[in-house]
Amino acid sequence: MKKIISYNVNGIRAAIRKGFVDWLRDEKPDIIQLQEVKAFQEQVDVHEIEELGYTIYWFAAEKRGYSGVATFTKEKPVSVQYGIGNDFFDAEGRFLRLDFEDFTVINSYFPSGTTGTIRQEKKEEYLDIVADYCSELQKTKTNILLSGDFNICHTEKDIHHPERHKGVSGFLPHERVWIDSFLSQGFVDSFRQFHTEDDAYSWWSYRAGSRKKNLGWRIDYHMVSSALSHYMHDAYILPQVVHSDHCPVVVELEG
């Protein structure tokens, strides 16, 4: 059984100060994909993480303290790709791909559009690039796992009080349609394969006690290719883990 976690840590150094490494030691994922590490690897003491048996792959943003993704894996990949091949988004450290013998994992931090029109346009550009990339990848790879913070709630079950969020970035109709389209491309939302009706979230605002009231959004996903989905054993969310305003999301694969 392979346990794979995706987790927007909203700053790896802050998460470590809050007990991230101890939690990782107890949770024992085979692969953990982090978003918003907000640091260069040399700024982080990764010795304890490496002692747990992980090899570390890190793709930081050029801007200090911003964005960035990292993947820790106990099984070494056969190849690694840093970036999606777009200069703008690669400078923001948003995409990291690891190929293993029997499957491919992608770690991606999708842009947020909440800061205004320009960033929303960049977000939508990135959505198109990812969809095209995965479509091309499917021509040569069948077992694909795309994990990360998508910054989109797919359905009304994925956001608290959906009626209050009409017209809000992250719940815009065309963003939700993009997920529909991506799924129709040959992927499944792993969590919804096991929890069809749950109102479950992976991010909560720091404002107004949102997490305690469970006023959240489900914006973190493991999207599993149709071929790989046959090996899914379980998928779930860990809302009790509190190193970040996000929480980890998990998929377990047989084999």
What is the pLDDT, as a whole number, of residue 115?
A: 82
pLDDT at residue 255 above 80? no
pLDDT above 70 coverage of the chain, percent: 100
pLDDT at residue 81 above 80? yes
Domains of the chain, with CATH numbers?
Answer: 2-253 (3.60.10.10)
On average, the pLDDT of the chain sits at 97
Q: Is 245 a catalytic residue?
A: no
Tokens of 237: 């969310």
pLDDT above 90 coverage of the chain, percent: 96
Q: Kindly tell me the sign of the dihedral angle through the C-alpha atoms of 16, 21, 24, 26.
A: negative
pTM of the model: 0.97
**Closest to 186 (Cα-Cα) out of 152, 136, 224:** 224
Half-sphere exposure of 15 (CA within 13 A, CB side): 29
What is the pLDDT, as a whole number, of residue 19?
A: 98
Per-residue exposure over 128-154, b if at least 16 CB sit within 10 Å of its own CB, e if not: ebbeebbeebbeebebbbbbbbbbbbb
What is the pLDDT, as a whole number, of residue 20?
A: 98
pLDDT at residue 198 above 90? no
pLDDT at residue 208 above 90? no
Position 73 confidence tier, pLDDT thresholds 50, 70, 90: very high
Residue 7 contacts residue 242 (beta carbons within 8 Å): no
Sequence-ordered list of residues with C-beta below 8 angstroms from that of 7, at least 6 positions apart, any chain = 32, 33, 34, 35, 220, 241, 244, 246, 247, 248, 249
Tokens of 212: 């305690």
Of 87, 149, 199, 245, catalytic? 149
Residue 34 contacts residue 71 (beta carbons within 8 Å): yes
**Closest to 244 (Cα-Cα) out of 34, 25, 4, 5:** 34
| pLDDT tens column, 17-54 | 999 999 999 999 999 999 999 999 999 999 999 999 99
For residues 136 and 142, give the distance between their C-alpha atoms in angstroms, rounded to a whole number.
Answer: 11
Average pLDDT (103-117) is 93
pLDDT at residue 103 above 90? yes
